[in-house]
Structure 1
């Protein structure tokens, strides 16, 4: 099941990823025998009965991943898709070339100081993956990052990890951990080379550049190393792919000797380990969809006992940030939602060893709850505290100066201002606790990602880097705006739009005077917000006259916690009807027509795509569904599948509750495909064989049933990838070009483009 928005958010990093591949798009190999007709999966009915209702599933046999007959069917689907879309090969190559030509392929990040080094990531033209490196800091007061040209390998550079070398010989590669010891002497990193998110953890001696004998298999992402470089903490998963155990590894000893330091038996909870910014604490955090708990251990006593901060209470979420506060010393900043739906921030003492959990009633409120402002994060530094806040559907950064705070008086936070009404702002890399400058990145639909350093003493803002877009990109050639649709229940739903000014005709009211082709994106789950972001690949759509729109439907977090609550559990249908309302608004205000609109969503957004295809097929010319959660009821009914129990708090438990079963049955896309779907829009489902979050079988079954009902559906399945799709930037650009070409074809823009 989907627990994140991997595919949705990967678009924001289209340009940043970096084994070597050709620098022009190459089509996938085509079988010698061209299919003469669409694959028709055999109907092998099995019955599933719950709460007095029996569902006959004709295609459940496709779940047998190791069955050669299943693989043959999937390969036949790929061959059919290649054949049906062969005419788009020139357009795919052109879009790929546009993405490549606009991207500074040899580039590097702004160096970030940590200890005695400046750390950065660089990419090299022709290489798929990034290279991690560092250079020494010149002096204790050197807080200005070195100015490095994109193609420059600076004098004194030390190579830490070349992902291209690590990925050599593998069709897939993902880096799941990258953590440094406090003195910079050791690196712990983790890699996945299949896409199933089972990572191998290694420890590298950065003095010699060699990996130590330590090898930890089958770990979950997020391993950390203590400041002294002697201990590694990591988590492992159970049979349902849930991270439930935390282990302590002593560097230089066999993994078989690792000590289990925490185990969570409740199948609703995920568990992970981290390190506080000041390096003082190892933190274990565990959470379900609505309840959380944190444990602490002094990092210089790694063999000691973890102690709980607040004992878990059902329905209460909290996160802990160690801080040093004036007049109080070492303390904990706790962001929680107990009686504060949009969260409030309190200050509390660090629990003493052996004293038991702290009493939440003893904490002092420092940032009160605000029904109009969602507090999303807190980060503590030596002189300031930084809050991530969401107001008016926009993510913002607010800063609190610790100097001058009065005990008992709520804090005053200063929001960082940006010029654009539609923008996103968030903390960038800030590894140092005692830093004189705060690094922030900002972006919008038209402004490339920009990295700022903000002097914490003066407030002066310095632009360190703005993503370079080659080919003469001018933000002024593009426009963005916010519209509001009215949902079935009268709720106003925000829609964000971006377009090229000279390609779209507007009337005096600022809406469409001449309907334009439009791509409408949506997600709507897990309180994840689809915020404004710049994308180089998106320019290939905008420059051809396509309007890109985001429907900020309920189930996401754009309008605060209430927005999320109104789009989950027994309110889940709001997500789907909101999206349809947004589509109808865009048609009604002249932005587009149903014949010129494509819907797009991935993972939980793929569930949204399947639902709206059933609810309002007449509203769309095409539906693009990435790793789509379209067989939701089947999956949520089976607690033996990865993540099912964890997901019950998001969707409900249909196994135990007949009302939840009936409600999910009413919207689950696979079960609601009608006998005659010949009137459906064109559908393209994209998935991956090794996805452990949304199993490939869901879109495979969905497409089989759609096609049997007469719907024009295609399936593209990556045979060496996971939930996030293919790895490597060039491979990712090829995938985007494939999807963009299909979208343009549906919109009638493939010819002469």
Structure 2
């Protein structure tokens, strides 16, 4: 049996009154002279019926422990639903002879992708689509509800229309394991073509003539390692592998330039990159390296045509004049001589260059300054020069702005977006030259929502080593004085930045008096590449101690208190949650974590596991390096569980997750339950049909967030509190 206790929870929720105790099966692990006895490694075998029995018992126990929250969950779900325009249309974006957009319908889980014809070559004003009004010439490309019918899980991978606009490549995943089956649709006849390619990584790239499609497959450890060429109308067995990456640190991807002239294979590790190119009108040709990889140098090249010449715009972090360009610089070179570079924008310590997009007569730069993403437009002159670089000002503070969908090479306007923690997402068409911003669509928040009732601000905590760490805070203006319930979110890995956005679901917390904050800890990218470098490998503990410093700052400032503070993070942010649970459990009333990476050392020691070898440049390689092994063991949440009081913990995971296997939170919770002291609630909830992204379908996702929010509110004593503005919302 998987459970030691005879009165433990069973698969019957009504009988789940006692926490399930997983049996102990000692497994010895030895590396670098260190011996670790892992008592719960047996939970890794999901083909073992005892493992499934244990996970179901945990689910039953969680159901029983949270049964009293069912009315609150229903309220929160109803609030999210009431604030959402369920029957809606996205803003159309132009590609070729059509405007492309998606529809959602009340009562349906998934979107419907559609298109309608442009009025003519000079038609750059998107049609104003209205719910319930027939759209002339509308064509349904894919109804995802029909594709998902009969499946517990559904995810759309590729959705790529060829340049002529008559063929659609699309791929589907019904397991949540991120392996997709690629198929093709004739958009003229509606026929699904016989070509079918299982086991792809999700995307698809057309050659310019529409005769070939390029796609990626993954190896046994889920690393995207191969690029294939498929000729439409032939069998999968005839597909040609055009590129294979042998180095396990690297993953591959394939795409094309906006100019349509070149196909591009990107090969990237955490530290090093390389690009291969091929003329798109010669899909059966051989890809060639643009710039050869050099260890520790990351670069990305964008094709531009300037003064009638093919140019490469190259973002890179190489050494220039003896100085490493950590925050990247922008150089220009002839496309066929990319080593012959001239620097356009030098490296700057205060600005992290993130991307450059080329259009026929302008460039767009995306960058980060003062922990906020920004965007600027750079006109190209007819003589082959550059005009004045202009940063686009959206008039918002503590906001996130950037380029949106812009498929066309020649376009008089640029689609851009902006939002903040309290400002609904807005999409504009920007007019270069005049600087005019034409609002095309704004996120609808139904019911009683007034941004003036909320406030957002930036504060700074001081880390253990004196580093200033930014914290973003949003709350209602009318919350009472004194310490408040607060949800503190953190991630802190892969140079990923947590930028401002308005969440409809989050309003259910804010309107009940809860404050939401983001700790922008090291390991993320908010403050540039060095911010990332100082929160990875042998400096990873900065991520954890930064979060603790942010929590202490919020407590010391009087904004919250330990009995009112919840920590939240998922995936790599789940590692953060597990680490702070061990470091400073006394600071938190509860910890919420999704698909948490809480057994990192075990995973990084097994190169056969998904993504492990590719992750060594993020965490270090404990197989070969004794120092890395010891360092990771010193912070691994699972291996540092102690007999002490922990906060209440809710861990969420998916059985089919291929990124962070379900076994990590299962082992962690098992160890906590067997070791910790005190009576704080400890819950594990496993979705038995989903993967890393949780359940599919918007209503199922809303139910999931309602489950989490109800637990959060109950943990800090707000379970019975009615949301502010509830009467006004009901009246509306």
Q: Compute the TM-score of the two structures, normalised by the length of structure 2.
A: 0.95
Verify: 1:699 aligned to 2:665, yes or no.
yes
Is contact 1:436-1:457 (8 Å) kept? Answer: no
Is contact 2:330-2:344 (8 Å) kept? Answer: yes
Verify: 1:344 aligned to 2:322, yes or no.
no
1:359 deviates by 5.5
1:151 deviates by 3.6
Q: Please give the secondary structure, in 2, of the residue aligned with 1:165.
A: helix
Verify: 1:643 aligned to 2:611, yes or no.
yes
Partner of 1:89: 70
Partner of 1:195: 176
Match of 2:358 among 350, 357, 380: 380
1:598 deviates by 0.1
Partner of 2:291: 310
Q: Please give the secondary structure, in 1, of the residue aligned with 2:281.
A: helix
Match of 1:749 among 718, 722, 727: 718
Distance (Å, rounded) in 1 between the aligned partners of 2:72 and 2:398: 31
1:331 deviates by 1.3
Deviations 1:690-738 (A, max 9, x none): 0000000000000000011135311000001010101111000000000
Partner of 1:684: 650
Is contact 2:11-2:57 (8 Å) kept? Answer: no
Verify: 1:606 aligned to 2:574, yes or no.
yes
Equivalences for 1:398-409 in 2 at 5 Å?
398-403=376-381
Q: Please give the secondary structure, in 2, of the residue aligned with 1:221.
A: coil
1:96 deviates by 0.2
Match of 1:47 among 25, 28, 44: 28
Distance (Å, rounded) in 2 between the aligned partners of 1:172 and 1:259: 31
Verify: 1:290 aligned to 2:271, yes or no.
yes
Partner of 2:533: 565
CA root-mean-square deviation: 1.3
Match of 2:708 among 735, 739, 749: 739
Partner of 1:18: none
Verify: 1:80 aligned to 2:45, yes or no.
no
Is contact 1:529-1:557 (8 Å) kept? Answer: yes
Match of 1:556 among 520, 524, 531: 524
Q: Please give the secondary structure, in 2, of the residue aligned with 1:581.
A: helix
Match of 1:69 among 50, 72, 76: 50
Is contact 2:512-2:721 (8 Å) kept? Answer: no
Is contact 2:422-2:454 (8 Å) kept? Answer: yes
1:30 deviates by 7.8
Partner of 1:527: 495
Verify: 1:273 aligned to 2:248, yes or no.
no
Q: Please give the secondary structure, in 2, of the residue aligned with 1:218.
A: strand
Aligned length: 705
Deviations 1:449-468 (A, max 9, x none): 00000112422110001011
Verify: 1:656 aligned to 2:637, yes or no.
no
Is contact 2:11-2:56 (8 Å) kept? Answer: no
Partner of 2:414: 438
1:434 deviates by 0.2
Match of 2:398 among 394, 411, 422: 422
Distance (Å, rounded) in 2 between the aligned partners of 1:153 and 1:737: 35
1:414 deviates by 1.2
1:672 deviates by 0.2
Partner of 2:730: none
Q: Please give the secondary structure, in 1, of the residue aligned with 2:523.
A: coil
Is contact 1:30-1:82 (8 Å) kept? Answer: no
Is contact 2:461-2:468 (8 Å) kept? Answer: yes
Distance (Å, rounded) in 1 between the aligned partners of 2:406 and 2:563: 47
1:413 deviates by 2.4
Distance (Å, rounded) in 2 between the aligned partners of 1:364 and 1:397: 22
Deviations 1:121-147 (A, max 9, x none): 111111111111000111111110001
Is contact 1:443-1:534 (8 Å) kept? Answer: yes
* CA pair 30-153 structure 1, distance change in 2 beyond 3 A: farther
Q: Please give the secondary structure, in 1, of the residue aligned with 2:230.
A: strand
Distance (Å, rounded) in 1 between the aligned partners of 2:338 and 2:160: 33
Verify: 1:584 aligned to 2:552, yes or no.
yes
Distance (Å, rounded) in 2 between the aligned partners of 1:472 and 1:635: 47
Distance (Å, rounded) in 2 between the aligned partners of 1:375 and 1:175: 31
Deviations 1:354-382 (A, max 9, x none): xxxx553x111112211110000111111
Q: Please give the secondary structure, in 2, of the residue aligned with 1:503.
A: coil
TM superposition outliers: structure 1 runs of 4+ over 6 Å = none
Distance (Å, rounded) in 1 between the aligned partners of 2:446 and 2:287: 51
1:405 deviates by 7.3
Which piece of structure 1 moves more, 85-94 or 171-180?
171-180
Distance (Å, rounded) in 2 between the aligned partners of 1:585 and 1:245: 47
Q: Please give the secondary structure, in 2, of the residue aligned with 1:319.
A: strand
Unaligned runs of 5+ in 1: 1-28, 352-357, 506-513
Verify: 1:466 aligned to 2:439, yes or no.
no
Distance (Å, rounded) in 2 between the aligned partners of 1:221 and 1:659: 37
Deviations 1:228-257 (A, max 9, x none): 221100010111110100000001110110
Deviations 1:268-316 (A, max 9, x none): 0000110111211110001000000001111110001111110000000
Distance (Å, rounded) in 1 between the aligned partners of 2:13 and 2:328: 59
Partner of 1:475: 451
Distance (Å, rounded) in 2 between the aligned partners of 1:503 and 1:730: 30
Q: Please give the secondary structure, in 2, of the residue aligned with 1:309.
A: strand
Partner of 1:149: 130
Verify: 1:491 aligned to 2:460, yes or no.
no
* CA pair 208-336 structure 1, distance change in 2 beyond 3 A: same
Distance (Å, rounded) in 2 between the aligned partners of 1:118 and 1:274: 21
Q: Please give the secondary structure, in 2, of the residue aligned with 1:78.
A: helix
Distance (Å, rounded) in 2 between the aligned partners of 1:583 and 1:406: 52
Distance (Å, rounded) in 2 between the aligned partners of 1:725 and 1:348: 44
Verify: 1:394 aligned to 2:379, yes or no.
no
Is contact 2:641-2:676 (8 Å) kept? Answer: no
Equivalences for 1:221-260 in 2 at 5 Å?
221-260=202-241
Distance (Å, rounded) in 2 between the aligned partners of 1:654 and 1:47: 17
Verify: 1:714 aligned to 2:688, yes or no.
no
1:751 deviates by 2.1
Deviations 1:547-589 (A, max 9, x none): 0000000000000001000000010000000000000000000
Q: Compute the TM-score of the two structures, normalised by the length of structure 1.
A: 0.92
* CA pair 30-86 structure 1, distance change in 2 beyond 3 A: farther
1:752 deviates by 4.2
Deviations 1:46-83 (A, max 9, x none): 11011111111110000001111100100000000000
Distance (Å, rounded) in 2 between the aligned partners of 1:337 and 1:200: 37
Equivalences for 1:623-642 in 2 at 5 Å?
623-642=591-610
Q: Please give the secondary structure, in 1, of the residue aligned with 2:15.
A: coil
Is contact 1:274-1:283 (8 Å) kept? Answer: yes
Q: Please give the secondary structure, in 1, of the residue aligned with 2:375.
A: strand
